[in-house]
Amino acid sequence: MEIKKNDYFDIDIIDIGINGEGIGKIDNFIIFVEGALPDEKVNIKIVKVNKNYGYGKLINILTPSPFRKEPICKYFKQCGGCNLLHLDYDKQLDIKTSFVQANLKKIAKIEDVKVDKAIGMESPFHYRNKASFPINFTDKVNIGFYKPRSHNIVNIENCLIQHPINDTIIKKIKEFIKESGISIYNETTNKGDLRHIVTRIANKTNELLICVVVNNTKFLYEDLLIEKFKDIPNLDSIVINFNTQNNNVILGNKTKTILGKGYIVDYIKDLKFNISPLSFYQVNPVQTEVLYETALKFCDLKGDEIVFDAYCGIGTISLFLAKNCKKVYGIEIVEDAIKNAIENAKLNNIDNASFFVGKSEEVIPKLIFEDCINPDVIVVDPPRKGCDEALLDAIAKTNINKLVYVSCDNATLARDIAYLSNFGFKLNKLQPVDMFCNTTHIECVALITR
């Protein structure tokens, strides 16, 4: 059958894609339909036809999925951040578990590993402890989130997955812009000052840090900004981040504290952590405890092991494991994060953890082959792009037989498992943990053994 733009079809949705889009077929031609769910019959209008697949606009749901939910967010259609909000939460967990299984099969060619169902939250809302709001100016000031696949900002007054304090912060930052007359950053011309607002709130202590990112080397409105925000309950710190780079990176390397101590303090279980603005910290504090407990369980420590924690951030996993082993070595590329990690070990009276600034793929081979430290267990928790091959090569050359891989991108996890399988490693267990509820993202902990 010929399929042309502007044609209408009734189709069955048979699957869901990694961005939450429904997938159907017309004859054998694949059509992606945003907003449609598996097991639905929908009426669509073809909006784009490529060689092997096309896109349809959802016109009407003829037979709804029994798992369809009314998305309780007024920005759902434009924002796209919560691309599974129209789906029952328990079903979201099933779908994300099947994403992981599909990648293991497709990329790592693994058929026989049982992936346990993703562990979800009791209440999958207002869970994020960090928000990054881009700011631009069109006919007005816009603050919110980027629309999918664009840099157009959807103005947001409240967000279902963020901490509610952000609603007040957005309102106040709009007032600050009006009163100060500060110029707004334009990413095309790389001119204008105000780029982003980043907020962090500690789950256990409620300490709040507001970070204002400017495209400048100075900031002229400190007093007004402090005045504007000083009444916000639990406000601990205001920092200015200077970012004059013409790219998509949110934070620059230089930060000035204009109020408070310049970092927040939080607890994971009974461990206390200092968290500075440039350091990575897991965004879902409730599920972080589940994630780390799972990693600890997979490490199965007896007390006399040497453990490497690659990509350690502020040392959270390292310190979580330290009580259960002889010695932990944490490795992280961001200097501020390692400063925090060293402070955090002291804060918790932990003296069997050492931390190193540098690339895991450079520091770990040095620790093993030059300093002759033989780890019993290696934990890796890389960014989305996964582990560098040099790190995997080094791991392969040791006689280690247990690797615990914490991953926020199961496609690169599957790729790295496939690579390690060339050296006798095998995926033993995999537990997904839902850190990013109502979105298609899923965190995983994998036990890889040899």
Ligand X SMILES: C[S@@+](CC[C@H](N)C(=O)[O-])C[C@H]1O[C@@H](n2cnc3c(N)ncnc32)[C@H](O)[C@@H]1O
In this structure, are residues 280 and 313 in contact, taking their beta carbons and an 8 Å threshold?
yes
Enumerate the β-bridge partners of residue 199. Answer: 131, 210
Closest CB to ligand X among residues 93, 380: 380
Closest approach of ligand X to the CB of residue 3, in Å:
41
- For ligand X, which is the closer residue by CB, 96 or 228? 96
CA distances from 450 to 115, 377, 423 (A): 19, 12, 8
Which residue lies nearest ligand X, judged by its C-beta? Answer: 313
The smaller minimum CB distance to ligand X, of residues 242 and 320, is found at 320
Q: How far is the CB of 331 from ligand X (least distance, A)?
A: 6
Length of the chain: 450
CA of 213: how far to CAs of 184, 193, 234, 243, in Å?
A: 11, 8, 21, 7
- Out of 79, 312, 387, 408, which one is annotated catalytic? 408
Mutual angle of helices 410-421 and 89-106, in 10-degree steps: 30
Distance between CA 324 and CA 307 in Å, rounded? 10
Residue 13 or residue 275: which is nearer to ligand X going by CB?
275
What separation in angstroms does the CA of 211 have from each of 195, 201, 262, 264, 288? Answer: 11, 11, 9, 12, 23
**Chain residues in the site for ligand X (CB under 6 A):** 280-282, 311-313, 316-317, 331-334, 337, 359-361, 381-383, 388, 408
Minimum gap (Å) between residue 436 Cβ and ligand X: 13
Biggest CA pair distance of the chain: 70
The amino acid at residue 255 is: T
Q: Are 16 and 22 in contact (CB under 8 A)?
A: yes
Residue 313 CB, shortest distance to ligand X, in Å, is 3
Distances (CA, A) of 199 to 156, 292, 400: 15, 24, 40
Token output for 88:
């029952």
Nearest approach, Cβ of residue 334 and ligand X (Å): 4
Q: Least distance to ligand X from the beta carbon of 401, Å?
A: 22
What DSSP state is assigned to residue 118?
A: P
Are 440 and 408 contacting, i.e. CB atoms less than 8 angstroms apart?
Answer: no
Cβ-based nearer residue to ligand X, 306 or 331: 331
- Whether 408 sits among the annotated catalytic residues: the reply is yes
C-beta of 264 vs 331, nearer to ligand X: 331
The catalytic residue positions are 408
